[in-house]
Amino acid sequence: MEIWLYYQEGASSKPADAIVISKDCLGPEWSKEQDLKSYSIDNGGVVDESGRVVGAFIFIEDEGGQEAAMEFVGLAEWLIIDCADWKMIPLENLVASTDGTATKIVASLSDVQQLQGAAFALQRGVDALLIPDDEEMWAVAQELAAQKLAEKSGVAETSAIIIGEVELCELEVTDIEMGGVGDRVCVDLIQMLEVGEGVLVGSSASLLALVHGETISSQFVPPRPFRINAGPVHSYIMMGDGTTKYLSELVAGDEVLVVSSSSSRVVPVGRLKIEPRPLLIVRYKDEEGNAGQAFLQQAETVRLVSNIEKPVSVTHITAGAQVIGFQSKLGRHIGKTISSDVEEK
């Protein structure tokens, strides 16, 4: 994490990684001697010494400001962000959005108490702190930068957009129990499903189960080959772009990821059907012992996919059975993968 100095006339020399020169102010001679990167802010743009626009300065007061900042993610090299009353949520949202992109976040701060939150937002933190010539702030900022450097162990995985093939894993069912009555969501798609296809859902975004579509005929109910009985409203579902949403957040037109043991595709949602139904909790674990669970309607037509590619009804599944799912070691913030630790139980 870098520390940038917001330079105003008369500011003293600091061991900065870069300086941002305030409007109508000449840069200090000592910055040239130290060969520091120098930026200025001109009409909302971040301009380097050569006059090249390398980013944007965004003041966030409300949702509109956050949306304006999001538009630069993946386009700008640097985003300098200032927030009214320094609200953390917009900063966390931007840190999550820029994770895995070339865009770097600079938090413009004016109070020493704001430093820690920005430095460790979503554990990853911002890429640079922009602070004034204030001795206390500099001392704390340098301590935080040293702490981050010492703790840096590197996350081997990076955020990935899941389009095309998805690497599935085997999950062992450990228990099945009653789950009460909940608001169950049927996800009706605008395309027909094949036998073997379904969606990835579960209570934990890091360990999702493959829930089969209603493509199989039964003695009492005709097939609904466009439908997945996906579980109650709190469950996560994998979207077509690799993010997750709660089932309660889905709307017609959203694109979900349809998966089988051999392929995957992106399909839009046509409608949602939400009704109170009795539920089962299917608990499972992966090969490393990580535990997860999925709440599913207690009905013969609701099926998981076994390791031999055969759908098995949740009303007949037993402990020890092997089913197929998806494992992610990355945490998530508002559905997006982030390089930080997140625990779900």
Tens digit of pLDDT for each residue in 17-71?
889 987 777 777 777 777 788 898 888 889 988 889 999 999 988 888 889 999 9
- pLDDT at 266 > cutoff 50: yes
CB atoms within 10 A of CB 193: 22
SS3 sequence, 188-246? EECCCCCCCCEEEEEEECCEEEEEECECCCCCCCCCECCEEEEEECCCEEEECCCCEEE
Between the alpha carbon of residue 59 and those of residues 7, 67, 69, the distances in Å are 18, 11, 9
Q: How confident is the model at residue 10 (pLDDT cuts 50, 70, 90)?
A: confident
Whole-prediction pTM value?
0.57
pLDDT value, residue 286: 92
Encode pLDDT of 180-233 as tens digits.
Answer: 999 999 999 999 999 999 999 999 888 999 999 999 987 777 899 999 999 999
Residue from 80, 295, 257 nearest 176 by CA: 295
Instruction: Name the pairing type of β-strands 236-238 and 198-204.
Output: antiparallel
**Portion of the chain with pLDDT greater than 90, in percent:** 51
Average pLDDT of every residue of the chain: 86
What is the percentage of the chain residues whose pLDDT exceeds 70? 88
Instruction: Work out the number of other CB atoms within 10 angstroms of the CB of residue 180.
Output: 10
Strands (DSSP E) found in 249-290: 255-259, 264-285
Residue 128 dihedral angles phi and psi, to the nearest 5° = -155, 150
Q: 303 Cβ partners below 8 Å, 6+ apart?
A: 198, 211, 212, 216, 311, 312, 313, 314
For 146, other C-beta atoms within 10 Å of its C-beta total: 11
pLDDT computed for residue 263 by the predictor: 83
- Residue 36, amino acid: L
29: left (phi over 0), alpha (psi -120 to 50) or beta: alpha
* Token pair belonging to 232: 């109650």
Q: Which residue has the higher pLDDT, 302 or 264?
A: 302
Yes or no: say if 211 and 187 are a contact pair by the CB < 8 Å rule: no
Helix runs in the chain, H state only: 29-33, 63-70, 88-98, 115-119, 135-151
Q: What is the pLDDT of residues 314-341, one digit of tens each?
A: 999 999 999 999 987 655 444 455 555 5
278-286: average pLDDT:
95
Q: Which domains does the chain have, with CATH numbers?
A: 2-150 (3.20.20.70), 169-338 (2.170.16)
| Residue pair 103/74 in contact by the 8 Å Cβ criterion | yes
Q: What's the Rg (C-alpha) of the chain?
A: 25
Q: What's residue 293's pLDDT?
A: 96
What are 287-317's pLDDT values in tens digits?
Answer: 989 999 999 999 999 999 987 668 999 999 9
pLDDT tens, position by position, 142-185: 988 887 776 664 433 333 333 345 688 999 999 999 999 999 99
**Structure confidence at residue 12 (pLDDT):** 85
- pLDDT (tens digit per residue) in 92-149: 889 888 988 999 999 999 888 888 888 888 878 899 999 999 999 999 999 888 877 7
Residue 270's pLDDT band, with cuts at 50, 70 and 90, is very high
Query: Bridge-partner residues for 275, per DSSP?
Result: 184
Task: Give 277's pLDDT tier (boundaries 50, 70, 90).
Answer: very high
The DSSP annotation for 16-34 comes to -SEEEEPTT-PPPHHHHHT
